[in-house]
Structure 1
Amino acid sequence: MTRYTPSATMAAGTSDHTILMRKRTTVIPTITRARNPASEMRSMESPVTVCVLPLYGPFNRNGFSFRVPTRGCVPHESPGFILLRRRMRIFKLNAQSMANMEAPSLKERVYDVLEPGYDQASVGAFFQRFFDVFITLVILVSIAIMVLSSVKTLDAQFGMAFDIIFFFTTIVFSIEYPLRVWSCTADPRYASPVRGRLAWMLTPFALIDLIVVLPFYLELFIGINLTGLVVLRVFRIFKLIRYSDSINMIIRVVKAQRDMLITAYLVLFIALISASTLMFQIERPGQPEVFTSIPATMWWGIVTLTTVGYGDMVPMTAAGKVLGGCITLLGIGIFALPAGILASGFTQELQRRMPVKNRTPGDAEEEVFLCPHCKTEIRGRDLWKKR
């Protein structure tokens, strides 16, 4: 079951909701009926082909934000989304709404460029695409330099070139990080100048950005040259997650299926402990130097459940061999559980990303949307309007 929380906040002193446009969001079709009839919005009579979607920040790729007046709560027909599309139910943006359009500041423009993803129709799409491609190439080059420099012959021949390229990539990351810290307050989630920036600096991606440049400056200014700090350079590869839709989709699937995955791995852990304890009790009398303890026997349990079988710990007794065979067969079935759960999650995610015209009511029956104001749950089956 997928839960969506649209980016809508209530304006102070008014009944308006600020609905912000988002960079990458699947268009959600309108709902056939509202639970609160008083919250219905009037529809326009003339067909228009425009799509307004929520954004994390107060501006979109074209540099504008909309304050859309509503009657009380965000209408359940659109759970925070305003959809303007030909031959579909559309909502009126009156003169007051258009008057609230604001040009973005320099900070907002910088934040918009630094954040991955771009809108082909926006004015700054070229700069956004250029930065995404450029920073991805810098990450790949820095990783390649780190790997190649570990080869002694290559390091002896091209060591100076490796150092220059590595210095250049570090400077790029060193410029990127302060810009992100400065511009992160453009995101409403981190609007506070101090607390907002501190909250952003504790996010996973911000910590990765800091770890990427930290070893270089510790070695340069303090003289610390520890092996552990050099190993931290491998974190540069994790910066690619920010610019990869596929990896982000994997993360979303894992988060959505985390309860089922935890259950599956709990079953695996129970099987591991049980098998290791039984094998330790069976094989310890005959091989005390091999099966020295239950933790040591857990290594045998891991390689047996995963059907790897390195052969460094082998049961010799008949009972141990029978137990080992049963554990091997059991491991095949247990490890199939997480694979099936992830496959189901990928299927649901692909259906959610499917274009609206290709989707059917059955694809959305298990989806649940959450109204950001009244916290009312709207079932996916209510999102589809029969024509």
Structure 2
Amino acid sequence: MLLSLKNKIFGYNNSKYENILDDPKSKIGQFLSNFITSLVVLFAFIFVFESIGTNEVTYKFELFVFDAFISIVFAGEYFYRLFNAKEKISFIANPIRVIDLFSFVPFFFGLLSVGDILKLLRLLRVLRVLRLVKKIPLTAGFIKALKDYIDEYKAVYILFFVILFIGSSFVYYFEKDVIGTKFTSIPITLWWGLVTMTTVGFGDMVPLTNLGRVFGSFLVFLGPLVLALASAVTIMVFMETSRNHEMTHKHHARSKHCHRCKSKNPKDANYCMICGEELNDQL
């Protein structure tokens, strides 16, 4: 039984999918894929549990064992996918696979590190949660659509930065000589300007001069307008992604799939264009 399972996983051969984990029709592949996803969710709960009280010290061994187990599973999945990938360089450079890599590398490097480096590597474990993004069907299409709208995003954020920099600079020069002022430098004033333009408003810093308040008011009004432009671009990205996703599904629905070689054929085809298998009503 174990030998048969091994052959199904490591001897997987399908023209449509590179490995069994990506095959939606494979019960074993979907079980393993869902198991790995459940480990990510479980890690999120453990990561929070670890930060409560003295849990990190009290359950140090148990937490280490779980971290080691999850890292080994993620590493095994990564190298399994790499081994089966047809284009290995493209696989390694893929942003999704970079996320996969960071889900286990910090643990193994952490075994050889101490001090602040170890703390940083332990913190990087939180990147494992990004693996859940792969479960969102529209992720790949959304990333592609973002690239198509990169010029629009550049224009919006350049405009945001220009307003932020000019407004904050004026506020700094009007406020810097006021006794007890908190606007002690342009970087600190930029922080205040960013908080103001994004409508967060912590209230830790407020202009005291009339001119400072005037320019602060400009940031209050202009900030939401620029952010609205960014939101509008993002909505267009989502709409295009959703439209492309829907068109893809409609195309697949209109295609006949050959049960023998798994290839797609026109809906009016009677025989597979690849292997010649009779299609009948195979959808």
Same fold (TM over 0.5): yes
Alignment check: 8 A CA contact 1:212 1:236 kept: yes
Q: Give the aligned partner of residue 304 of structure 1.
A: 196
- 1:214 equivalent to 2:214? Answer no
Distance 1:198 1:173 in 2: 19
Shift of 1:329: 0.8
Q: 1:200 aligns with which of 91, 101, 105?
A: 91
Contact 2:141 2:245 in 1 (8 A): no
1:322 maps to which residue?
214
Residue 155 (structure 2) aligns with: 263
Q: Distance in 2 between matches of 1:331 and 1:259?
A: 20
Task: Write the distance in 1 (CA, Å) between the matches of 2:114 and 2:90.
Answer: 28
> Which residue matches 1:113?
20
Pick closer, same or farther for the CA change 1:292–1:130 going to 2, 3 Å: same
Cα distance, 1:241 vs structure 2:
2.1
Q: Within 5 Å, give how 1:276-291 maps onto structure 2.
A: 276-287=168-179, 289-291=181-183
Amino acid in structure 2 at the alignment position of 1:171:
I
Q: 1:132-147 residue pairs with structure 2 within 5 A?
A: 132-147=33-48
Instruction: Look up the equivalent residue of 1:114 and give its one-letter code.
Output: L
2:50 counterpart (149, 155, 161) = 149
In structure 1, how many angstroms separate the alpha carbons of the residues matched to 2:90 and 2:243?
33
Alignment of 1:146-185 (within 5 A): 146-155=47-56, 158-184=59-85
The CA distance in 2 between the partners of 1:146 and 1:265, in whole Å, is: 34
Q: Give the corresponding residue for 2:225.
A: 333
**One-letter amino acid of the counterpart of residue 31, structure 2:** F
Count of residue pairs brought into register by the alignment: 238
Structure 2 CA distance, aligned partners of 1:357 and 1:150?
A: 44
Higher helix share: 2
Structure 1 residue 157: Cα displacement: 5.5
* Distance in 2 of aligned mates of 1:152 and 1:357: 49
Q: Quick one: distance in 1 between partners of 2:56 and 2:248?
A: 53
1:348 equivalent to 2:244? Answer no
Distance 1:245 1:287, change over 3 A: farther
Q: Is the 8 A contact 1:306 1:331 kept in 2?
A: yes
CA RMSD, aligned part only? 2.8
Alignment counterpart, residue 129 of structure 1, candidates 21, 30, 42: 30
CA contact (8 A) 2:78 2:101 kept: yes
> In 2, distance between residues paired with 1:324 and 1:293?
16
Q: Any gaps of 5 or more consecutive residues in structure 2?
A: 1-9, 252-283
How many Å separate the matches in 1 of 2:226 and 2:217? 14
Deviation at 1:330, TM superposition (A): 1.0
Would the aligned equivalents of 2:99 and 2:131 in 1 still touch at CA under 8 Å?
yes
Alpha-carbon distance between aligned partners in 2 of 1:349 and 1:213, rounded to the nearest angstrom: 31
* Bigger RCO (CA 8 Å, 6+ sep): 1
Q: Deviations over 1:208-267 (max 9, x none)?
A: 2222222222233x3546111111111111222223214444433422322111111111
Please give the alpha-carbon distance, in whole angstroms, between the structure 2 residues aligned to 1:183 and 1:229.
29
CA distance in 1, matches of 2:48, 2:248: 44
Deviation digits for residues 131-167 of structure 1 (CA, Å, limit 9, x no counterpart): 2211111111122212211112444565444333322
Identity of aligned residues (%): 28
The offset of 1:276, in angstroms, is 0.9
* 8 Å contact from structure 1 (residues 277, 294) kept in 2: yes
TM-score, normalised relative to structure 2: 0.74
Q: Answer yes or no: is the 8 Å Cα contact 1:272–1:305 preserved in 2.
A: yes
Pairwise CA distance, 1:106: 3.1
Partners of 1:288 and 1:269 lie apart in 2 by: 28
Equivalent-residue separation in structure 2 for 1:160 and 1:276 (angstroms)? 50
Task: Name the CA shift for 1:216/1:329 in 2 (closer, same or farther; >3 Å).
Answer: same
**Higher share of residues assigned strand:** 1
Does the CA-based 8 Å contact 2:167-2:218 persist in structure 1?
Answer: no
* Structure 1 segments unaligned to the other structure (5+ residues): 1-104, 191-196, 360-387
